[in-house]
Amino acid sequence: MMEKLMATSIPVMNADEAALLIANGDTVGFSGFTPAGAAKVVPSAVARRAIHEHSAGKHFKIRVLTGASTGRSLDGALAKADAIAFRMPYQSDPDIRKSINAGKTEFMDIHLSLVPQNARYGFFGKVNVAVIEACDLTPDGQITLTSSVGASPTYARIADKIIVELNAFHPAGLAGFHDIYEPLDPPHRRAIPLYHPADRIGSTVLKVDPKKIVAVVRHNTADENGSFSEVADTTRRIGENVAEFFAEEMRSGRVPKEFLPLQSGVGDTANAVLAALGKHPDIPSFQMYTEVIQDSVVTLMREGKISFASGCSLTVAPNVLTGMYQDLEFFRSRMVLRPQEISNNPEVIRRLGVLSVNTALEVDLSGNVNSTHVLGRTMMNGIGGSGDFARNAYLSVFTCPSTAKDGKISTIVPMVTHLDNSEHSVQVIVTEFGVADLRGKSPKERAKLIIDRCAHPDYREQLHRYWNLSKESHTPHMLRASFGMHLQFADTGTMRNVDWSIY
C-alpha cells in the first residue's frame, strides 16, 4: 500500500508532520465510537504540538467532534495538553471530564443520532479537518474503516481536508463488515430502506475525493478499550431481573415468541444483562440492533444465542478483539457496522420494534431518568444514544443499582437533579431488588411501585414518608422537599434519615 500511495499525489508522512496541518481554532472531526476505531497517533501529535505552542506563550486549542467517546490517545492526550476548546458529543475519559467540569472545555451533550446530520446542516460550523482511522485505502479514495463507523462518513465528506491514519493493527480483511449509508437531507430525505437488522443498504467502503486527502499516517496501534469487570452480585441480579421480565412479556404475548431485536448500552451492567438473557431458558436465540457490540455479544454469538448483531462499533476487550480478528469468517455473516445516524435512527428503531435496555445514574418517583450528571452539576459522560432508543423502543427499560457510594446514596430519589429521559419515554425500571413496570400507571401509582419494587430497603420507609406527605396531588412532589435527600447528602455525606418535617 505504501508504494501505491507514493505513486499518487497523496503524501505519506509521520504523525507530527500531519499535526502541522491542523491549525489553532480548527474544528476537527475524529473517527471513533468509543475507543474502537478512534484516531490515535495524530491527536497525540496534536497534543504534543499544543504543549510546545503553550510553552512558547502561544494559544493553541481545537474544537473536537467525534462519534462518541474515544481513547486516551485522543481525549486524554488533548485534554492533558489543554488543547480542547470545545467537545461534542460524548466522552468518558477522566481528563476530558475533569476539564469539562472545571470549565476549561465547553461541552455539548446531544443525542448521538443527531450528530452527523447536525454536522451536515452546519450547526457546529465548518469542519476544517477529518482524521479517520482506516485498515485499507485505495488511490482513488476508497477507505475501509476499522472497528467502528460512528460519524466518520459525514466528517470525511464535509471536511475541507482529510488525514487518514492507516492502522495495520486492524486487518484489511475487515472489508465487507461495514455498511456505509448517509441519508439525504431535507427536503429530499427518503425512508431508510432497512427492515431487518441484517439488511445492507449502503457501501462496504467510505468513498471520498482523494484530492481532499492531505496526509496518510501509517502505524500499528491497538484500540484502547479496557476489559469489563467480572459480573458482581448486584449486576447479576439486575441482569436476571431484566431477563425474567422479558421472558414474562413473551409468556403474556406482549413480546412475540420469536423475540425482538435488542439494544443494550455499554458497561458492566449491560454485559450482565446480556449474559442473563443468554442463560435464560425461555429466551430464544435473538438478534441485536444496537450501538455498541461488546464482550457478551461475541460470547453469545459463538454460543449460538445471538444470531446477528447490527451495531456501530466493536467495543470489546483487547483479547476478545484479537480472537475475532483470528476468526473473521465466522463473524462476517453475523455482524455489520453502521453509521450512528442509522444504528440510532428513530424511524428504524420503531419500525424494528427494538427492546431497549440502558443505564441510569438516578431515577425519580415519576420515572424520570438522570443519565449524565452527579447531583445535577457534575457531568459524567453524556446521554449517548439512550434517548434515541428510549423514545422509540417497543419497550424502554432503564437499569441501575439501588444505591451508590456504599449505600450512602439512593439512586431512587423524589426528583432527579438533571433530566435526560423523561417519564414519557421510560416504561420499566429495574434494580437488583426488582422490576417496576410503569406502563398504564398514574403518577401516584408509578411512585409507589418504584419505591416498593426498586428502592433499597434502607430507603423505602423514608421514600414512603415523602410519598405520603405529597400523595394528595396528581403528581406526588413537594417543591421544598423534592431535593431533600440530595441536600442531606451534601450536608452529612449520606442520604439516609431525612427529616421531611423541616420542609
Do residues 77 and 51 make contact, with C-beta atoms less than 8 angstroms apart? no
Beta-carbon contacts of 96 under 8 Å, excluding residues fewer than 6 positions away, are: 75, 76, 78, 79, 84, 87, 105
What type of residue is 248?
Answer: E
Strand extents, DSSP E, 286-328: 286-289, 292-293, 306-311, 313-314
Q: Are 265 and 358 in contact (CB under 8 A)?
A: yes
Contacts of 238 (CB under 8 A, 6+ apart): 269, 272, 273, 399, 400, 401, 430, 431, 432
Hey, is 346 helix, strand or coil?
A: helix
Annotate 102-127 with b (16+ C-beta within 10 A) or e (fewer).
Answer: eeebebebbbbbbbbbbbbeeebeeb
Give catalytic status of residue 106 as yes or no: no
Rounded Cα–Cα distance for residues 459 and 145 (Å): 49
d(CA 223, CA 174): 15
Whether the CA torsion 241, 246, 252, 258 is positive or negative: it is negative
Residues sharing a CB contact under 8 Å with residue 489, sequence separation 6 or more, in sequence order: 375, 408, 409, 495
Rounded to whole angstroms, the Cα distance separating 352 from 456 reads: 35
Q: From the candidates 133, 165, 291, 432, which is the catalytic residue?
A: 291
* Catalytic residue ranges: 291
